[in-house]
Amino acid sequence: MAENHGEVKLLGVRESPFVVRVVIALKLKGIEYEFLEENLGNKSELLLKYNPIHKKVPVLVHNEKSVSESLVIVEYIDEAFKGNPILPTEPYQRALARFWTNFIDDKIVSSVKKVVFTLDEVEREKGVKEALEALQFLENDLKTKFFGGDEIGFLDIAALIIAYWVPIFQEVRGLQIFTSEKFPKLYNWSQELINHPIIKENLPPREPLLAFFKARVEGLSASK
Ligand SMILES: N[C@@H](CCC(=O)N[C@@H](CS)C(=O)NCC(=O)O)C(=O)O
Ligand SMILES: *[C@@H]1O[C@H](CO)[C@@H](O)[C@H](O)[C@H]1NC(C)=O
Ligand SMILES: *[C@@H]1O[C@H](CO)[C@@H](O)[C@H](O)[C@H]1NC(C)=O
């Protein structure tokens, strides 16, 4: 018998690595949901109502109750829906998973943003240095096929931005930061991850994504 999970809606945009985190979590749990596509240039009443503080996607709406911030949403999904656990069960391992997912957003996302979306050379160099340092910590921490072990877990989902988006950003910017030579284990992990059936099926297609970010970066220089 199919379990009733209630009404699940996801406000998002297809290009966002933060939104894809939530999509993957829902798919891993086998939850049906409605995707409400946002236009970030003209945000919907719904987005402003459900996430008045940050006004950002993703927002998950479960039976009219909203949750914002991708990592918080993934944890919520893991707790609200049974089966296929995403976080480890043991408290210490849960703490470590949360430590590293926070690390992804504090260190990787912020340095990658500097590298991709700033035109200032000094800032950019700083971003490259920070990204290399942060990636090295992950390279050293990776002991199994996925960070979650044999199966995809919380950190894999959070770090998908490195596996799929960072190579696209590098291509847009003509940089070599995340390479198989510099980070052999992490690179192997990234290939395993993006070829995992559930991940592969739910990633936005590469070429349009590349074009999307090329246009955004060109927009930066045009508006300078
Ligand atoms: N920390 C947030 C980041 C979400 C985020 O940056 N979303 C972007 C799209 S990739 C957004 O909605 N931007 C709209 C805006 O900043 O106005 C999360 O993890 O959910
Ligand atoms: C923004 O979207 C609303 C509908 O959601 C529409 O009525 C309005 O014309 C749009 N504004 C602009 C500037 O495109
Ligand atoms: C990753 O490394 C393992 C073990 O060395 C190997 O069997 C596997 O084929 C590699 N995966 C990819 C996608 O390169």
Q: What is the pLDDT of residues 17-46, one digit of tens each?
A: 999 999 999 999 999 999 999 999 999 999
Q: How far is the CA of 188 from the centre of ligand 3 (A)?
A: 6
Find, among 76, 41, 95, 11, the residue nearest to 219 by Cα.
41
Is the C-beta atom of 108 inside 6 A of ligand 1? no
- Nearest ligand to the C-alpha atom of residue 42: 2
Q: Which of the four pLDDT bands, split at 50, 70 and 90, describes residue 93?
A: very high
Please say if the pLDDT value at position 179 is more than 70: yes
Q: Which of the four pLDDT bands, split at 50, 70 and 90, describes residue 1?
A: very low
What span, in angstroms and rounded, lies between the C-alpha atoms of 193 and 9? 26
Q: How far is the CA of 222 from the centre of ligand 1 (A)?
A: 23
CB of 10 within 8 A of CB of 199? no
What span, in angstroms and rounded, lies between the C-alpha atoms of 122 and 16? 27
Give percent of the chain above pLDDT 90.
96
pLDDT of residue 155: 98
List pLDDT tens digits, range 47-59: 999 999 999 999 9
List pLDDT tens digits, range 182-205: 999 999 999 999 999 999 999 999
In angstroms, the Cα distances linking 222 to 16, 39, 103, 120 are: 23, 22, 33, 14
Please say if the pLDDT value at position 117 is more than 90: yes
CB of 202 within 8 A of CB of 23? yes
Q: Which of the four pLDDT bands, split at 50, 70 and 90, describes residue 222?
A: confident
pLDDT of residue 3: 72
- List the domains of the chain with CATH numbers: 8-80 (3.40.30.10), 91-222 (1.20.1050.10)
pLDDT of residue 2: 58
Find, among 209, 210, 114, 222, the residue nearest to 171 by Cα.
210
Instruction: Give, using CA atoms, the residue closest to atom 16 of ligand 1.
Output: 56
What span, in angstroms and rounded, lies between the C-alpha atoms of 102 and 96? 10
Instruction: Give, using CA atoms, the residue closest to atom 6 of ligand 3.
Output: 188
Find, among 57, 78, 77, 84, the residue nearest to 68 by Cα.
57
List pLDDT tens digits, range 127-159: 999 999 999 999 999 999 999 999 999 999 999
Nearest atom (ligand 3) to Cα of 187? 14
Please say if the pLDDT value at position 112 is more than 80: yes
CB of 9 within 8 A of CB of 192? no
- Nearest ligand to the C-alpha atom of residue 70: 1
Non-local CB neighbours of 95 within 8 Å, separated by 6+ positions:
none
Q: Which of the four pLDDT bands, split at 50, 70 and 90, describes residue 224?
A: low
- Identify which of 36, 38, 42, 48 to mutate to test ligand 2's pocket (most ligand atoms within 8 A of the CB): 42
